[in-house]
Amino acid sequence: MKRLLNQLHVPLQFERTDHTFWQEPHIADQLLEVHLNSDAEGASRSFEFIDKSIDFIQLAAPQKPYQKVLDLGCGPG
């Protein structure tokens, strides 16, 4: 474990890297599993939360004057 920790490199802020963390197979599989699990609040939201959000948006921005909604959320990324 100590040898592994010695190999870690903390990049400088905005430093370019070729490291493809999200494409590492184990990480990608785990992220996808959590993202698609509607019972886990870590990535996607539960259907109950989504329904409450829709109700709130419809109250705050009625469809008649506000015909478009911009969703700026991008999940866990």
Report pTM: 0.48
Sole residue written with tokens 């890297």? 17
Rama region for 8: left / alpha / beta (φ>0; ψ in -120 to 50; rest): beta
For 19-58, write each residue's pLDDT tens digit: 777 788 888 888 888 888 877 776 677 788 889 988 998 8
What average pLDDT does range 1-26 have in this prediction?
76
Looking at residue 6, its pLDDT comes to 75
